[in-house]
Amino acid sequence: MARESTPVSQADGSTELAQICAEFWALSLENSPLSATLLGVHDFDDHLDDLSLDAEQDHRAALNGLRLRSSALSDANLSMADTVTRSVLLHQLQTGIESADLRLIELASDQMDGPHAALLMLAPQLTYPEPEHAQAALVRYAQVPRMLSQAIQRFSAGLAVGRTPSERVIGRSLHSLDSYLASSPDEDPFLAAGLPEGWSGAEQWQSQMAQLVRECIRPAFGEYRDALRDQIAPSARPDDQAGWCWLPDGQELYAALIRSHTTCELSASELHELGRQHTEVTLPAEYLALAEQQPDPKDELSASFKTLQNKPASDQNAASDNLAAIFECLRTNPALRHADAAEIVELAERSVARATQGLPEFFSLLPSSPCLVSPIPEFLAADAPYAYYFPPAIDGTRPGTYFINTAHPEQASRTEAESIAFHEAVPGHHLQIAISQELTGLPEFQRHDGPTAYIEGWALYAERLADEMGLYSDRVARFGMLAADSWRSARLVVDTGLHALGWSRQRAIDYFELHTPVPKDQIPGEVDRYLAIPGQALSYKVGQLEFLRLRSYAEVALGDRFDLPLFHDTVLGSGAVTLPVLADLVEAWVAVQSARPVSESD
C-alpha cells in the first residue's frame, strides 16, 4: 500500500525556500570571493576564484541540487512573494548550470570579463575594514598565479575543441595587460585597497603587498600575458569571422546567452528585426522632431541645423539627408567636445546631484547610500567602456560609485554625458541597486543579484524618465538621450548580426556609423565589447521596452488612479526579477489598485 505524502503548509514551504535561498547565496559568495568582499562580506577574504574544471563541476552539482529542491516546492505552499523569489531563484540557478555545462570560461580571455580584467578592476575597489581582513587579503593575492594559470588551462582546453577567440578581443586583452605591466609598481592597483582606519599595521601591510606585487602578482600577469600572446592569440578568428556563430557550437552558446540575458524566449532573428525597427524607423522620427524645435539662443546646434532641408516629412530622401546631417553635427561639432578630464567629472557630478534632488516627486522608495563619481583608473581606461557602476558595500564601507572614462576628453562628446550619468547613477543603476540592497524581507541573493534584462532595462528606462523629470539641461543633452537610445537599439541589430548572422566586424561598424550618431572613433571599441561578451548588449533595449510596456498598460488600466511613484515602488520593490515576473508583479498591482474605491486610491 502506497504511503500518502505529508501535506506541506505554506509556512513550511516558505521555510524551505528561505533555506534554499540562504544556501544559494552562501554558495554564490564562496564561488566568487572577490564579489563577496566587494559587497562587504568578509568570510572569504583569503580566497581567490577557483577556475578549475573540478571546481566548476562541483559548483554545478550544488546548483542543480538547489534547483531540484526549489522545483519540488508546490505553488500552493508559497505566498505570492515566495513565488516571485522562487521564479528568480530558478532563473539564476539555471543560468549558473548552463554556464558550467557550456564551459563559458573557456571563452573568457576577453578585456571585459576576463580573469585578469576582474582582478585589476576589483582590487582597488575592495575594502578591508578590520586588520584580520587585511591580513587575509595578503593570503588571497598570493594565489594570483594559481588563478591565472587555471585560466590559461581552461582557454587552452577550449582551443583544443575549436573555441578560438576573436583576434580583436584577444588584442585588447593583450593591450590592457601590457599597459598594466608597463605602469609603475608603486601605483599598482593591488596597493590601493581600503585598509582599517587608523590601523597601526597599515605601513607594514603596504610593504608586504608591494613585495607580493613585485615577486608574485606582476610575474604571474606577465606569464599570463605571454601565454595569451603565444598560445591563444595565434589561433584567433579574423575580423570577418568575429562572432560566435563561427565556433563549432556557437549557435547553441549564443541561444543560451540570449535566454540568460533577456530572460525571454526570443530568437536572434526577432531581436534583430526589433532593433532595426527602433534604430531605422522610430528613433529617426524623434531626431527630426527635436531638430525642428525652437532652440535656446545659446544652443550650439542652431547654426548647424539651419542647413536642414525644409521639406515635408513624407519626402524620405530629405528626411534621410537631414538625419545624416544631424548625426554628423553631433559627431563632429567641436563645441560638443569636453575641454579636459576635470570637465567630464564635473558634468557627471552636477547631473547626479540634479537627479538626486528631483527624486522625491517620482519615487517613494529612496536609498540612503550616496553615489560618488570617479574616473576609471588610467591603466584600465584605454580598453574600458565609457562608464560603469559599482554598487555600495552592504557593510557601509564603500558608497555606490559611477566610474567614467576620462582618458581622451577631446574625443568624448558631452552630448551623451547627462544621459549616461542618469543611466549609471540616478535614477538608473545606483537608485535601483541601492534600493534593492536596502529592501527588507527579501533573501540576500534577491537584494544583491539579478537578471541583466531587469538591471539594464531599468537603467535605460531611467534615461527616458529623466526627460519627464526635466533633468536634461538643454536640447544638446536631449539629443544625447536619443543618441544613447539609438546606441542601445543598434546593439540588438549588431550583436545578433555578429553572433547569429555571421556579420563581419566591419559590417557591424558600418551599421553603427550609418544609423547612430555614436562618434566614429568610439564605434570599434563598442563593437569589440559585443564580441567580448555576446548577448549582454541585448538586455538593455529588451528590458527598457518591457518597463515602458508595463507602465503604459498600468496607465491605461488605471486611468486617473495611476500613481507613478507607486508604480515605481512596485517595479523596484522586489529586487531585480525576470521580465515575466516583472509583468506578474505589475498585473497584480493593477488588479489591487483597480479593486480599491476611488477615494482610497486617490
**pLDDT tens track for 502-519:** 999 999 999 999 999 998
Q: What angle do CA 37, 43, 45 make, to 5 degrees?
A: 50
Backbone angles phi, psi at 416, to 5 degrees: -95, 0
SS3 444: helix
Q: What integer best gives the mean pLDDT of the chain?
A: 93
**Cβ-based neighbour number of residue 204 at 10 Å:** 10
**Dist CA 468 CA 470 (whole Å):** 5
Q: Tell me the pLDDT tens digit for each residue of 367-387.
A: 999 999 999 988 777 767 789
Nearest to 265 by CA among 601, 579, 487, 551: 579
Alpha-helical (H) ranges within 375-428 are 378-381, 417-424
Cell of 428: 538608473
Distance of CA 25 to the CA centre of its chain: 20
In this prediction, residues 74-98 reach a mean pLDDT of: 95
Q: What is the pLDDT of residue 6?
A: 40
Residue 409 or 44, more confident: 44
Nearest to 67 by CA among 43, 104, 101: 101
Q: What is the pLDDT of residue 313?
A: 52
pTM: 0.92
In this prediction, residues 464-479 reach a mean pLDDT of: 96
Nearest to 494 by CA among 537, 452, 457, 461: 537
Q: Tell me the pLDDT tens digit for each residue of 310-331.
A: 555 556 677 788 999 999 999 9
Q: What is the pLDDT of residue 395?
A: 81
In this prediction, residues 266-285 reach a mean pLDDT of: 98
**Dist CA 443 CA 439 (whole Å):** 10
pLDDT at 481 over 50: yes
Cell of 390: 559599482
Q: Tell me the pLDDT tens digit for each residue of 145-185.
A: 999 999 999 999 999 999 999 999 999 999 999 999 999 99
126 CB burial (10 A radius; 0-12, 13-18, 19+): buried
